[in-house]
Amino acid sequence: MLNSRAASIFRRPVYIFWLSLLAITFFALTFGLNRLYAQKQQQLSRYWYGRAQAALESHQADEAISDLRTALVYSHDRPQYLFSLAQALEAAGRITEARSYLLSLLEDEPGNGPYNLQLARLAAKENDVSHAMRYFNGAIYGAWESDPISKRQQARQELVSYLLEKGMNTQARGELLTFTTDMPKTAQSEFWVANAFSRLGDDSSALQFYKAGLRLDRRNAGAMLGAGESSFRLLRYHEALNYFKAALALRPDATTSGWLQLTSMTMDLNPFQSQMSAVERRHRLILAMDIADQRLRACTQLQNGSSANSPSTSQSLRAQWIQLDDQLQNARSDSDVVQLLAPAANLIVNIEKQNRCSAPAVGDQALLQIYANAEELQP
């Protein structure tokens, strides 16, 4: 009996040992299987996410949406994938669904820069100015995982472009000036700011930034052209001519050639230069009168009863032209010619502006440029 009790006592630890070993083995096997399952899910989610990104890059939004939904099944609503799904939905034109996902993400991370920027773009597409402004500012002051300074600057650039498109020039100027305070000192940034100032009609500031950018990159034909246009509008024709010549040498095209021709003709027809002989001033004014005469004749012939330019208007302009031409033919001294510049400017501008029956030729464009700015060019 003692032997039986001793055997029983001996077997109990053995049972416990084997049961413990079996439990450990079971838990290890379960843990391993779960880990393999999780790894497989991660592999599948990454696979479908990669497919979705490739589809988005190929502008196949519907396919990307399907792949992302599959990826989300395996990733358990990973925010990165939800954000990509919102982008794909936007690309597919499903704006309401895209906004719903983005708002849900933003609720969890109110200061997230990418979420705010995407919502700003959606609001801009729907012409919702107040929400676009709100979310753009959220992106500008929000959190970014990588290169936050650059990303915030890019968000502000988008805001400036949006405000310019909406014609909100005062707000655009304010944001643009803020951008310039800590903008990267690269040629690309300088040119972007120059173009923005040009769109605001501030050619003086635009030219300043074009020059700064060109000091860093002298081979940018587009910037050379932009600098030439700003110089032209500032009546700095010699400077404009040099920029257009440089732009044409870098990239010959019809637009630059047209600007070069217009600038050259504007300089050749300009009678307002102070250091000019009476003969040359009179010659240039006669040329201007001849170009205006051709324009007036062409427009009169094309009227054909159109109400755009009534016969009485054309007759009045013709009478003024004849009277001024007679005075010009009899002018001999430089003072006589100078006295005719103001009435000539008024008549030429009226002819060129009121008789827009066809596209103005380069000579007509030059006359408008010269004589519409006559007060600033007076000798």
Q: Write down the pLDDT at residue 47.
A: 74
Q: What percent of the chain has pLDDT above 70? A: 84
Residue 86's nearest CA partner among 97, 75, 78 is 97
Task: Note the pLDDT tens digit of each residue in 147-200.
Answer: 999 999 999 999 999 999 999 999 999 999 999 999 999 999 999 999 999 999
Q: Write down the pLDDT at residue 264.
A: 98
Residue 45's nearest CA partner among 80, 72, 83, 84 is 72
Task: Give the Cα separation of 324 and 342 in Å (integer).
Answer: 11
Helix, strand, or coil (residue 331): coil
Task: Give the Cα separation of 84 and 56 in Å (integer).
Answer: 9
pTM confidence score: 0.81
What's the rounded mean pLDDT across residues 319-331?
92
Q: Would the pLDDT of 340 be above 50?
A: yes
Q: Would the pLDDT of 146 be above 70?
A: yes
Mean pLDDT, the chain, rounded, equals 86
> Where residue 214 falls among pLDDT bands split at 50, 70, 90?
very high
Between the CA of residue 185 and those of 72, 89, 189, 209, 299, what are the distances in Å?
42, 36, 7, 11, 51
For the record, the structure tokens of 275 come out as: 């250091």
Q: Which residue has the higher pLDDT, 50 or 354?
A: 50
Residue 143 pairs in a beta bridge with: 112
Question: Which of 2-6, 53-57, 229-233 shows the lowest mean pLDDT across its residues?
Answer: 2-6
Residue 112 pairs in a beta bridge with: 143
Task: Give the Cα separation of 68 and 72 in Å (integer).
Answer: 6
Sketch the domain layout of the chain as residue ranges. 201-269, 278-377
Backbone angles phi, psi at 140, to 5 degrees: -65, -40
For the record, the structure tokens of 65 come out as: 């949406």
Q: Which residue has the higher pLDDT, 210 or 358?
A: 210
What's the rounded mean pLDDT across residues 322-348?
91
What's the rounded mean pLDDT across residues 306-329?
81
- Count of CB atoms situated within 10 Å of the CB of 148: 12
Q: Which amino acid, 339? A: Q
Q: Write down the pLDDT at residue 315.
A: 86
Q: Write down the pLDDT at residue 78.
A: 82
Which CATH number is associated with domain 201-269?
A: 1.25.40.10
Q: Would the pLDDT of 5 be above 90?
A: no
